[in-house]
A = this chain, B = another copy of it.
Amino acid sequence: MPQTMTSADLRIHNQARLLRAVHDAAEPFTRAEAARLLGIGRNTAAALVGELEQARLLHEVPAESGARGRPTTMLVPHPEGPLAFAVDFREDTWTLASVELGGAITELEDGEHDRTPKAFADIRAAVARHETGRLAVLGFATSGPIRDGHRLHISHLGWDEVEVRDLIGDGWPATVIDNDARLAGLAEARRGALRGLGTAMHFHIDFDIGGTLLLGGDAQRGAHHIAGEFGHMPLTGSALECMCGVRGCWSLDVGANALVRRFGGETGYGTGRELAQEVLRRAEAGDAEAGEAVDANAAALGRGLGALANALDPEAISLSGLGVDLIRLRRGLIEENCAASLMAFRRDEPPRIAAGTMGEAGPLTGAAEIAWDAILTPVWLRERL
């Protein structure tokens, strides 16, 4: 319990609260509003903001006066303030972006990669091309579980527990890394469909299902940093064996693999995504067989969600990837099957099921969030101020 609290810590604490409020706010606000929001006096707010402006963390710009009263200033990110960089490392491509306080994203560069760990060197080079003194922390989103936060396993790239410290080490800026599905969920919780909820869940449906439990706006990581493999619970009674080594996984019935299998395509990671999209298109166009496959997918999705809702009682569930298509095409079927899996007494208050609002930007946005989480800490601020 070494979180000592001295008078000076108090100042840092309140400044961190202020910066966090600016970062999290949907709309920028004025200094006077900040004082009310934090429950501090106008004088104290002036002092806090003044120091943060000195430290180039906040900037005050005149607010257009709409009402009476003496004009005030808006609190905006400082134009020379720290930046988070965010990387989304996908199957064949990556994106690098810069994110300022408040979450505004500027895409800097993207590229393809050859599916080998060399990709990280390319990304490092791209970071270097855009690096300025303003770069504070880099957030990195990748697929695959990252055991204990440093052993990265990406099956569709054939990476078997690659040591993250060998990929991101000397020469890199301060970096935080996490799983894309979890970060997509975090993005929804912070800035998307799950904003403001105490208990929520997010699932990314691709070849299989990855997800995360979001509590108080934070994504849960588990004891070994590998929580979230909801797709590998036997929720729908499949008799097949999953490539994860278990029989009956939910993912066998939901996602691209399930669609592909139905049409004799080759399941597994990295192939068949187009076929799955084709199935969706044909289903939308009225093809009966494709429609049945999508029906089965949606029904299995709903059944699993209901089961999970019994256990974890989320207020809402958001979906990304294929889940967005399934909601668009088969919302009713998902909700019916979810209700059927819900304990009867819960059916009058089912979890809200919605498409995530972050779309493709989810992992990148989540990566930016964990980077900013690392910045907006008392420790970091003490250094800076």
Measured CB to CB, the residues of A under 8 A from B are 1-5, 7, 10, 13-14, 17, 21, 37-40, 145, 147, 153, 197-200, 213, 215, 220-230, 232-237, 244-246, 248, 303, 306-308, 310-315, 340-347, 349, 351
Other A-B pairs, 6, CB within 8 Å; known A4-B39, A5-B10, A220-B312: A7-B7, A199-B220, A199-B227, A224-B313, A232-B310, A233-B311
Q: Across the interface, do A246 and B38 meet the contact criterion of CB distance under 8 Å?
A: no
Assuming the contacts A17-B1, A199-B227, A227-B199, asked whether A308 and B233 have C-beta atoms less than 8 A apart, the reply is yes
Assuming the contacts A224-B313, A313-B224, asked whether A342 and B246 have C-beta atoms less than 8 A apart, the reply is yes
For this chain, the copies found in one complex come to: 2
Assuming the contacts A145-B345, A199-B223, A313-B224, asked whether A235 and B234 have C-beta atoms less than 8 A apart, the reply is yes
CA of A233 to CA of B341 in the docked complex: distance in angstroms? Answer: 8
Tell me if A's interface is mostly helix, strand, loop or mixed: loop
CB neighbours (8 Å) of A310 from chain B are: 229-230, 232-233, 246
Q: Chain B: which residue is nearest A24 at the CB level?
A: B1
A299 nearest CB across to chain B (Å): 14
Assuming the contacts A343-B244, A343-B245, A344-B245, asked whether A311 and B230 have C-beta atoms less than 8 A apart, the reply is yes
A135 nearest CB across to chain B (Å): 29
A13 nearest CB across to chain B (Å): 6
Q: Chain B: which residue is nearest A224 at the CB level?
A: B313
Q: Chain B: which residue is nearest A37 at the CB level?
A: B1
CB neighbours (8 Å) of A39 from chain B are: 1-4
CB neighbours (8 Å) of A315 from chain B are: 223-224
